[in-house]
Amino acid sequence: MAGFGWIAGDVLLAFLWQGLCIQAAAACLLWWMRPAGARARYAVLCAALVLCVVVPVLDAAARLDTWQASAVLPDGAAGIVTLPATWSGVLAGMPAMAAPALPWRAWLAMAWLAGVSGMTLRLLLGMAWLRQVIRSSRPWTDAAWTARVQALSGRLRLPRGVALRIAPGLSSPVTAGWWRPVVLVPAGLVSGMPADLLEALLAHELAHVRRLDYLVNFLQRVIEALLFFHPSVWWLSRRLGEEREHIADDMAAACIGAPRTLARALDSLSRGMPVPAAGLDLAQQARGGALAQRIRRLLRPAPAPSRAALAAPWLAAALGLACAAAWTVPAAPTAPSGSGLAGIEALVKASGAAHVLVVDAASGAKLIGRAEHEEVPIASLTKLMTAMVVLDTAPDLARPVRIEREDAEATRNSVSQLPVGASATLGTLLKLALMSSDNRAAHALARSYPGGTPAFERSLRDKMAQLGLKHTTLREPTGLSPANRSTAADIERIVNAAAAYPEIARDSTRPAETVNIASGALHYRNTNPLVGRRGWDIQLSKTGMSPAAGRCLVMRVRVQGRDLTLVLLKARQQPA
């Protein structure tokens, strides 16, 4: 649920302004198309309402792709994806990160689901009520009226027959169904309304059948249920219903050849009739829409629309689709290949990092800097120091190390594929700690250090002093503790030192790795999605992520013959 909430919460919030933009564009087009016919306005409103669904769907898909491309998993869990990211793979890894970072998104998603459930229940109850009305009705077998309805159907070119039924308790004729349509006529109208007026109302209902309005109206109610929270959706839906009634009125008036007769029929319905049942919003009824406005239209028909007005719906649809694509395609960082520092600047901007440092590794010149001397948690960037301390002992990388329960207990707030009791070489554990940020592997490296964890901690302090890290504090070897803190300037010193270790440069830039242990093969991949990507010549890499540290990234990257050290701390998002 936390993973679902992460995406759904952002999509719902983004649609608040996107829906307003769609409504504003539709309103402007409708104002411009005032001389146009109801069909043109109806097309614009349909396109706008469809966009209200398409835009969030595309937005969600784009955000999911971002999660997939950036392996959005917490440190120590990113490496557990065994196949290219899928729905199941991505969502399985999200909860450990999303829940503590942004819990309100999950609550927002739950509130939306509750609202959708309530609206869906309302829709289902309306369908059940309408079905009950149909079952309680009786066939209208009057031969004269059957002939009239058949004649109207022929003029409207209906592709299939329509059943006529008399239903008690209704206040207006209604149409239900689209594959086997039925027109329900109130018993009071059959006996109390003049034949010409009743014929006009039936022509209106048959026009709805001809246009499959029951099906379109049903889809409209589904959209209302999904986007119940947005007033723009309700405004578009209401206007859509009004224009649908206008189109049916125009078709009925042309069919019977007497617009005034239909206007008199509608006026008769508006006088002294009871309020229709709530369930009839699913069906198409003759008294739907704004009756007074419909009567005025029939009595004073508008002039024929111009060609420009007829072309407007198609222009609006094309413009809307282009806007939807622009809204939902996330800006991707530009690869530095061929663009020099501009590509690095784009990456920095896309990350939204609060602390930034970009340095020319050869000259030491600072190219970009922002709050680089402020101390912040650094999460798994700690593992660069852990790797250097271990490698300083010139260890036998083929030495087997057993994963103990102590390693699991110390890293219980993270995920690892390495089971307790598994045995892996020291070189394998080093590789997993650097490439996929496996916390259990990093802890095992420190625990198996010559002299044990106390000796490792002493060596770690000595290494910090050797590198002159005056603003760095490291309490443990994995980075899980928020007490592990440093500055971007100190991290740049760490990267310069780590780049001199061939093992660190090699293992931190492996795109993926398969590790064989007694229980089977384990598949890992690099937590930095830029590693191995075309256009990026990365010499060293390490990522970090925790609720306290946000997203962190360090890289030694070669750009047009220059080696640049990049440090991003407290970033909002990982590079895609």
Within a domain: residue 297?
A: no
**For residue 46, what are the contacts with CB-CB under 8 A and spacing of at least 6?**
216, 240
pLDDT score recorded for residue 230 = 93
- In the chain, count H helices and then E strands: 21, 16
Nearest alpha carbon to residue 283 among 394, 106, 131: 131
Sequence length of the chain is 576
Looking at residue 84, what is its pLDDT? 33
Query: What CATH number corresponds to the domain at position 555?
Result: 3.40.710.10
CA distances from 432 to 104, 424, 522 (A): 33, 10, 11
Say what the pLDDT of residue 102 is: 44
Q: Are 496 and 565 in contact (CB under 8 A)?
A: yes
Q: Are 176 and 130 in contact (CB under 8 A)?
A: yes
Same domain? For 381 and 526 the reply is yes
Is 402 in the same domain as 517? Answer: yes
- 513 and 421 in a common domain: yes
Contacts of 248 (CB under 8 A, 6+ apart): 204, 205, 207, 208, 211, 213, 284
Residue 533: inside a domain, yes or no? yes
- Residue 284 in any domain: the answer is yes
Shared domain check, 251 and 176: yes
Q: 517: part of which helix (H) or strand (E)?
A: strand 512-517
Q: Is residue 437 flagged as an active site residue? A: yes
251 and 319 in a single domain? The answer is no
Q: Give CB contacts under 8 A, 24+ apart, made by 516-519.
A: 517/418, 517/419, 517/422, 517/423, 517/424, 518/422, 518/423, 519/419, 519/422
Averaged pLDDT in 10-residue chunks for the chain of 576 residues: 66 90 91 84 92 90 59 38 34 35 69 92 90 89 88 88 86 84 86 87 90 90 94 93 90 89 83 49 54 79 56 56 51 39 80 92 91 95 96 94 93 87 93 93 95 95 96 95 95 96 94 82 88 88 92 92 93 70
The half-sphere exposure of 142 on its side-chain side, counting CA atoms within 13 A, is 13
Residue where the block lists tokens 């007074």: 292
- Judge whether 380 counts as a catalytic residue: yes
- Under a CB-based contact definition with an 8 Å cutoff, are residues 44 and 29 in contact? yes
- Residue 396 within a domain: yes
The CATH number of the domain holding residue 145 is 3.30.2010.10
The per-residue pLDDT for 110 is: 86
Is 226 part of a structural domain of the chain?
no
The residues, any chain, with a CB within 8 Å of residue 60's CB and separated by 6 or more, are 7, 8, 11
* 38 and 182 housed in the same domain: no
Is 227 contained in some domain? no
Cβ neighbours for 572, distance < 8 A, ≥ 6 positions apart:
351, 352, 353, 550, 551
State whether 410 and 282 are in the same domain.
Answer: no
- State which residues form the domain around 146: 135-213+237-290
Is residue 354 included in any domain, yes or no?
yes
Question: Which residue carries 């031969």 as its tokens?
Answer: 143
User: Is residue 220 assigned to a domain?
Assistant: no
d(CA 448, CA 401): 7
Catalytic residue among 70, 268, 437, 459: 437
Q: What is the total count of domains within the chain? A: 3
Degrees, nearest 5: CA angle 85-89-545: 85
Instruction: Single out the catalytic residue among 153, 380, 436, 448.
Output: 380
Please give the pLDDT value at position 161. Answer: 83
Same domain, 407 and 317: no
62 and 190: one domain? Answer: no
Residue 458 to residue 509: CA distance in whole angstroms: 28
One domain for residues 160 and 111:
no
Helices (H), 352-451: 382-391, 405-410, 426-435, 439-447
Show Cβ contacts of residue 466 under 8 Å, excluding neighbours closer than 6 positions. Answer: none
- Choosing from 171, 172, 232, 383, the catalytic residue is 383
For residue 281, the tally of other CB atoms under 10 A from its CB is 19
Does 88 participate in catalysis according to the annotation? no
Same domain, 321 and 349: no
Residues 118 and 177 in one domain: no
